[in-house]
Structure 1
Amino acid sequence: SGKLRTSSAPVQSDAFIIAVPTPISPAPHPSPLIPHSDLSFVKVAATSIAPILRRDNLVVLESTSPPGTTEEVLVTILEKESGLKAGEDFYVAYCPERVLPGRILHEIVHNARIIGGIDSESAERAEKLYSSFVKGEIYITDARTAEMVKLAENTFRDLNIAFANELSRICHRLGVNVWEVIQLANRHPRVNILKPGPGVGGHCIAVDPWFIVEKAPQEARLIRTAREVNDSQPQYIFERIKELVGDIERPKIAVMGVAYKGNVGDTRESPALRIVDLLKKNGYEVSIYDPYVEGYESVEGVFDDADCIVLLTDHDLFRELSPTLISLSVRGKIVFDTKSLLDRERWESAGFEVETL
C-alpha cells in the first residue's frame, strides 16, 4: 500500500508506540537475590521521542514493565525533555503486547487488548488508535492496572508450570506417571494443570514475574518460589540425565531442540541452552538438532554414537523421525523425553528405553 516506512530514528508523528525489550538487569538489585528490570531501552526510546514531541501527540508504551513505569519513567522523561505537560499537551497510555511467536500478525489484529491511560483523555485517544486495526475486544483501565494485568497473565502461567514441574518431581520420586496424573486430574471441570517440562523460557514468562517480586518482595512469596522452582528445573533435568547415563566416561548426549518452545526458532531464556551448558561444563559431549534454530538445522551426525537422546523442545517435526533409523547410529538406546512428545510404543519397538518426567 506504500503506507509503511522505516527509519533508524523517530520522526514526527501523531502517535508513537514504544515496543522495546525490558530484560532482567545484569546490575545488582538492592537485594542481591532478586532479579530486577532493565528499563534502559524504554528510557532511550522516551529520550529519542521527546525532542520531536508535539502538542496533541499520543505516546503508547507496549513493553512489559513493572507497575508504575509509564507514569514514573516514561512520562517523567517526556515531560522533562520536551517541556510539555502529559495529559494536557500530549497523551500517554500503556497497552501491553499480547502476541505469540509464530502468530504475531494474526494476534496483533485479533487478540483482545488492554489500554490503560494516565488519564481518561489519554485512554480514549489510545482506544481510537488501536480500534483502527484491532478486531478483538478493547478494555479500558488506568496505566498502572494495565501494567499489572500483563504481569498477572504471565505470572499465573508461571505458577501453574511451577506446580506441574514440582508435581513431576514428586511423581518421579513416588514412581507415579505424572502425565497420567495430569491427564486424569484435568478431567475435573475446575482443574487445568499445565504440562511439566525442562524449565520455562522466552522473554515473558521467565522474566515478568520478577517484575512483581521487584516491586513487592515481601508480599510476592509464592511468585518468587514459583520462579525458583522453574529456574531450577534445568539443573533437575541435568541430574536425571546423569542418572540415565550412569558411569559412562564422557558420554555423548544428542539433544533434540534448543528453542524455548515448539515450532519456533526463538532461544531467548531457553532452559534447553542452560541444560546444554550444564552438560558441557560437566564434561559431556553434546550434539544438537533443532530444525528451527540457525546452526542446528542439520540432523546429520547428531545421533552418531550417542549414549542418550534428550528431547527438550516439542517441535512437531520430531514426531516424524524414525526411531528405527536412529537406532542404527546410537551407542546407547536411551531416550529422555522431557515433553512427552514422542510415540513411546514406536521408540520402544525400535529397542529404546524411553524415560519421561
Structure 2
Amino acid sequence: MAFETISVIGLGYIGLPTAAMFASLKRKVIGVDVNPKAVNAINRGEVHIVEPDLDIVVRSCVSEGMLRATATPEPADAFLIAVPTPFTGDDHQPDLAYIESASRAIAPVLKAGDLVVLESTSPVGATEQMAAWLAEARPDLRFPQDAGENADINVAHCPERVLPGRVMHELVWNDRVVGGMTARCSERATALYKLFVRGECVKTNVRTAELAKLAENSFRDVNIAFANELSMVCDKFGIDVWELISLANRHPRVNILQPGPGVGGHCIAVDPWFIVAGARDEAKLIRSAREVNDAKPGWVIDKIEAAITAAGDTAAIACYGLAFKPDIDDLRESPALEITRELGTRYPGRVLAVEPNIDALPAALSGIQLVSLAEAQVTAKVHVMLVDHREFKEAGVPTGELVDSKGVWKS
C-alpha cells in the first residue's frame, strides 16, 4: 500500500519537522496534537518552536493544502508517534503514559494495511507494549505479536537522532535505524522513511532499535560526565580545566569533551535512565555517569553562593542562558533553567535571566526578570555563565564576580 496519507501524532521538536518533510513531498499529512495553540498556529502556517527553515516549509505546505493540524486522529496509511517519554519520581522509572494515550487515540481509525511507527525515544519493550495497547483496543485486527508476518497492522520503532538547530538537514541526511516487529514491518517502515531520507535506513529488530538510541545517548552522557567530573577535580587542585583539556587533547587518541553546568535536553538527560530502569544491576557505569551529571548543577550553585557572598548581600545576580544547549530555545531538562530557578528561590527579586532565544520566561521562573544582555552586564554584580550562546561569546567580559561554567570568560 502506498503512503498517500500520513499522520504524525505529537507536533513538537521532532514531530512537526517530520510532518513538514513528508508534506513537502506532496503527501497529505495530518498532524495531531493536544495543544490547541500549536494546532491553531500550524493551521495558520506558523510554527510554535524555533528551528531554522522549519517555518518556511510549514508555511508552504499549509498553503498548498498538504499539511494541517487537528486535535483528533483521522484515518491515514501510516501513523508516526512522536510524543514525550519522560521518567517519573526519584527512581527514574519510564513514563509511557503519552505513548499509551496516543495509541488508544489512533486505535479507532486504524484499518488493515496501516503502519504504526513509534519515534519517541523509549525503553526497551515500549514498542511491543504499544502494539499490545493497540491490539487491546482493536481485537478485530491482527497485530505482529500474534499474527507475525500475517498481521493486518505493521508496527516498528524508528528513533530520531537529530541535532536541534539542524533538524531539517539531519532528518534527510542522517542514517536511520529501523526496527520492525517482523521483517515485513521493517521493510514497510523503511519504505516510508526512504521517501525523504537520503542517509541509509538500516533494518534491525525492534528491541535493538530501541536500545541503539539509548546506547548512543548514554555513550555521550558518560563522556560528558568524565568532563564534568574532571572540572570538579581541577577546581580542587586550583587548575584551569579548559587549559588542561586543551593540553590533554593534543594526544592523538584523546578527545575530552567540554564540561558544563550539567546535562539537559529531552535525550541525553533522560535516555540513560531507561537503560538503568531495565538493567539496574548491569548498568553501573551508565548510572554513575547520570549521577555525576545530575549533581553538577548543585556544585555550580555552591560556586555561585561563594560569588554572591563576595559581592555583597544586595548584589543582583545575572544568569546567562536558560536553554539546554547553545543557540536554541529548547528549555527541556535544562540544568541552566534549574540553577536559575533555585537562585530565584534563594534570592527573590535579585535574579536576572538573559536568554536571547525566548520572549517570555516559563512559569517556573516566577519572580525572575528577563533582561537584555546589555542590561545584565551593567546591572548585576554577580555574573553566571550557564549556556555559551553566540551572543555571549561575542560580548565583552562583564565587571563583577564571575562564575563561568562554560569557559566563555576565560582569559
> Shift in Å at residue 56 of structure 1?
1.2
> Shift in Å at residue 25 of structure 1?
2.2
Find out whether 1:173 has 2:240 as its counterpart: no
Q: CA RMSD in A?
A: 1.7
1:55 is matched with 112
Alpha-carbon distance in 2 for matches of 1:168, 1:268: 24
> Shift in Å at residue 300 of structure 1?
5.5
Cα contact 2:265–2:334 (8 A) shared by 1:
yes
1:148 is matched with 211
2:271 is matched with 208
Alpha-carbon distance in 2 for matches of 1:90, 1:14: 10
Cα contact 2:307–2:402 (8 A) shared by 1:
no
Q: Secondary structure at the match of 2:95?
A: coil
Q: 1:196 aligns with which of 227, 252, 259?
A: 259
Find out whether 1:282 has 2:343 as its counterpart: no
Find out whether 1:130 has 2:193 as its counterpart: yes
Which moves more between the two structures, 240-249 or 157-166? 240-249
Cα contact 1:259–1:293 (8 A) shared by 2:
no
Q: 2:99 aligns with which of 42, 49, 57?
A: 42
What amino acid is aligned across from residue 136 of structure 2 in structure 1?
K
Q: 1:70 aligns with which of 123, 127, 135?
A: 127
Aligned length in residues? 330
Q: Secondary structure at the match of 1:139?
A: strand
What amino acid is aligned across from residue 301 of structure 1 in structure 2?
E
Task: Tell me the percent identity.
Answer: 48
Cα contact 1:79–1:86 (8 A) shared by 2:
yes
State the TM-score, normalizing by the size of structure 2.
0.77
What amino acid is aligned across from residue 233 of structure 1 in structure 2?
K
Cα contact 2:222–2:286 (8 A) shared by 1:
yes
Alpha-carbon distance in 2 for matches of 1:319, 1:45: 42
> Shift in Å at residue 178 of structure 1?
1.3
Alpha-carbon distance in 2 for matches of 1:236, 1:20: 32
What amino acid is aligned across from residue 45 of structure 1 in structure 2?
A
Which moves more between the two structures, 12-21 or 246-255? 246-255
What does 1:325-344 correspond to in 2, within 5 Å?
326-327=398-399, 333-342=400-409, 344=410
Gaps of 5+ in 1: 27-32, 328-332, 346-357
> Shift in Å at residue 224 of structure 1?
1.2
1:92 is matched with 155
Find out whether 1:294 has 2:350 as its counterpart: no
2:40 is matched with none
1:246 is matched with 309
1:271 is matched with 335
What amino acid is aligned across from residue 341 of structure 1 in structure 2?
V
Find out whether 1:158 has 2:221 as its counterpart: yes
Cα contact 1:65–1:147 (8 A) shared by 2:
yes
Alpha-carbon distance in 1 for matches of 2:375, 2:169: 37
Cα contact 2:352–2:371 (8 A) shared by 1:
no
Alpha-carbon distance in 1 for matches of 2:317, 2:262: 18
Report Cα offsets for 1:164-206 as digits up to 9, x if no partner. 0000100111122211222222223332211100011111111
What amino acid is aligned across from residue 111 of structure 2 in structure 1?
R
Cα contact 2:82–2:120 (8 A) shared by 1:
yes
Which moves more between the two structures, 247-256 or 235-244? 247-256
Alpha-carbon distance in 1 for matches of 2:226, 2:193: 36
Alpha-carbon distance in 2 for matches of 1:300, 1:341: 16
Q: 1:310 aligns with which of 384, 398, 402?
A: 384
Alpha-carbon distance in 2 for matches of 1:60, 1:305: 51
Cα contact 1:93–1:123 (8 A) shared by 2:
yes
Alpha-carbon distance in 2 for matches of 1:289, 1:117: 45
Find out whether 1:219 has 2:296 as its counterpart: no
Report Cα offsets for 1:231-256 as digits up to 9, x if no partner. 11111001111223335224321111
What amino acid is aligned across from residue 219 of structure 1 in structure 2?
E
> Shift in Å at residue 280 of structure 1?
2.6
Q: Secondary structure at the match of 2:116?
A: strand
2:50 is matched with none
Alpha-carbon distance in 2 for matches of 1:322, 1:241: 20
Cα contact 1:266–1:293 (8 A) shared by 2:
no
What amino acid is aligned across from residue 333 of structure 2 in structure 1?
E
Alpha-carbon distance in 1 for matches of 2:217, 2:294: 15
Cα contact 1:258–1:293 (8 A) shared by 2:
no
Alpha-carbon distance in 1 for matches of 2:223, 2:67: 40
What amino acid is aligned across from residue 247 of structure 2 in structure 1?
L
Alpha-carbon distance in 2 for matches of 1:340, 1:45: 42
What does 1:112-131 correspond to in 2, within 5 Å?
112-131=175-194
Cα contact 1:117–1:143 (8 A) shared by 2:
yes
> Shift in Å at residue 70 of structure 1?
0.5
What amino acid is aligned across from residue 196 of structure 1 in structure 2?
P
Cα contact 1:250–1:283 (8 A) shared by 2:
no
Find out whether 1:17 has 2:49 as its counterpart: no
> Shift in Å at residue 58 of structure 1?
0.6
Q: Secondary structure at the match of 2:246?
A: helix
Alpha-carbon distance in 1 for matches of 2:224, 2:258: 7
Cα contact 1:255–1:311 (8 A) shared by 2:
yes
